[in-house]
Structure formats: C-alpha cells, structure tokens
Amino acid sequence: MKIFHNTHHAEHAGRQEMFRGRLVDCHEVPMRLQHVLDELSKRPVGTLVQPAADLPLDAALRRVHSADYLDFLAHAWRDWVALDPANAAVDALPSVWPLAARHGFRTDVPPLNFAARLGQYAFDSGTPLTAGSWAAAREGAACALAASHAVLGGDHFAMALTRPPGHHAGPNYMGGYCFINNAAVAAQALHDGGLQRVAVLDVDYHHGNGTQTIFYERSDVFTASIHGDPRTEYPFFLGHADERGAGAGEGFNLNLPLPRGTGFEVWWATLQTAMQAVSDFAPQALVVPLGLDTFEGDPISGFKLRSADYLQVSRAIAQLGLPTVLTFEGGYAVAEVGVNTVNVLEGLRG
C-alpha cells in the first residue's frame, strides 16, 4: 500500500480557533499526523512516498473548486499581511459573513476588503488561515491526486496522509479546518481517469458537507456518510437524512445521522446499511474520507468506537473488493489517532 505523505503539512499550524463562543488552542494540530508517522514506524503497513512534482494538480483542483476561491486561497496570507504588517504574527479568522441571497445579502459584487472576502469564502470562525495554509492544503490535494493515480494504475489501496483535512471544504468555501476537499479531488480524479462510477463512504464523526455539495447533482459519484445528527452536531446545516441528491443526482446521496453517544454496535449496523448502498451502486472504485473522531476519547465528538473497532471497520470495507483511496480527515484525540489510523490500515491488509 502506498501512503502519500504531505511533508508540508506542518506549515499549517493554527494558533487559535473560535470554539463554542471562545478562542481556544486549535484542535487540528501538526502532532495529529506525527503520531500516525510514529505508529507507522512501529508497525510499517505500507510504503511512505511523496506525490510526484509533475502531477496536473491545478487542473485537478479546478475540477472541484471554483477559480475565484482557489485564487483567494493562493493570495490570502499576502493580502492579510498587507492590511497590517503586524498581522504576520496572528492567524486570520473571519468575523463577518453574507447570509443567503434570500436575506438580501449580495455576493455577486466581490468585496475589496479582505475581512469581507475572508467571510465570503468561509462558513465558520474555527478554521484559522496561516502563512502556510495554502502550501499545506495544496500539497495535501497532491497526495489525494497521487493516491488516485496509484489506484488507477493497479494498486488496490492507497492513502493520502495529509492535513489540514478536507471533507468540509465546498466548491467555493472553507470551514471545519478544511480548505481543499481531498476526497472530492480523489473521486473526481478516479472518474477523469476513466471510471464511470465512483463511491464516497465518509466515516468521519462530522458530516462531509463539502463533499455532498460538490457531487449533489451528479449520478456518477455516489456519496454516503455516517455522522453525528446535524440537529446537535457540527456542521449543523447539512447532513439530514432527507438530503438525497437533486436533479440528476436524486437518490445518489445517502446520509445516516446518529445521535451523540452512539456505541459501536449501532454504528456497525449503520455501516452495513451504508456499504449495502455502495454495493447497490456498483462502483468501480471507492473513496473513504477517514475520520477517526468517532473514537470514544475524542474531545469534540460523541461516538464510542474503541481502537480495536477500527480493525473490524476496515476489514469490512476491504470486503467490498473495491480499489480504494483513503483521505486522512478528523481525529482530535491526538495521542490515540496514530494507533487508530494504523489499525485501519492493518485491517485493510486482512
């Protein structure tokens, strides 16, 4: 198994985020990925590699994100510091947002003020933008693209081991610690590589609102997600069971929300439902946004999976028999995330 490692990930290291009404130290930190690397050194279940430098990355990014959003990300830190040189010592967090057009707020006239543009492209105040955010996110997308190319080339499993995560990032917005949607980049690359049907099975505690939005009106990418009930859990405004797709995508989106406190037995039964739906779609490849924040000790989540459960989960996913790309998503019990991730990889091997 090839594990594409984002060597630029630590360049994104947020200082603080807005969490439940107050500024706190960031939950999404470089040590998350370092713990995975440390565990892989003890249990080497794959080969750590880096994405090739000549990947068609810009074209791949434009397949899932709008050009204006990508341009904003590429220049955001420069524009932030241009407001005030002292900004170089603090992260950028949005403080104002336009509501939907039905409320009378307009987004068709691009604002010149950086704070307004940051709010236009963000849906929360918990995703700090730092000097290295673009470099880290861009290289993470390269890992996802490379993992897809590996699967297209004959590998049965490949992983994008990267941060920041990605599944909350939408066509033209960031949030939930995410800037570029790595799972969407991977799924689109598999499709562009000649596969007619690709499935996404998101097992993160939080609904992958960005991935759903990107593919919501398409029938060639089936999206399924098991996550905390959005009536009480982030990201709140998407992830309900009645969201089944629209237009050509009607029936090709499956949300399986569960209440906070759900244990493994119920979660496992729900996984069987999701996998049956994936099988019924008959995809030629699978993308798994791998969130480990379903772990019982996660500080910002609420399911009760234990470390040993991840072996069983990945063995079940492997039994689908599909070429599979995994993207590293949430998991904020930092000390345990390495063990849990490598347990998944070991389970894939059988």
Say whether 95 sits in a helix, a strand or coil: coil
Relative to beta strand 16-19, strand 22-25 is antiparallel
Catalytic residues: 168
* DSSP assignments along 299-320, one per residue: TT----B-TTHHHHHHHHHHTT
Residue indicated by tokens 């434009």: 62
Six-digit token pair at 178? 């995410």
Query: How many CB atoms neighbour CB 125 within 10 A?
Result: 18
Distance between CA atoms of residues 289 and 260, nearest Å:
20
Query: d(Cα 258, Cα 41) in Å, to the nearest integer?
Result: 35
Would you state the structure tokens that stand for residue 337, as one six-digit string? 């995330």
CB atoms within 10 A of CB 284: 14
Instruction: Write phi, then psi, for 218 (nearest 5 degrees).
Output: -125, 145
A 10 A CB-CB count for 264 gives 18
Beta bridge partners of 38: none
Q: Which amino acid is at 283?
A: P
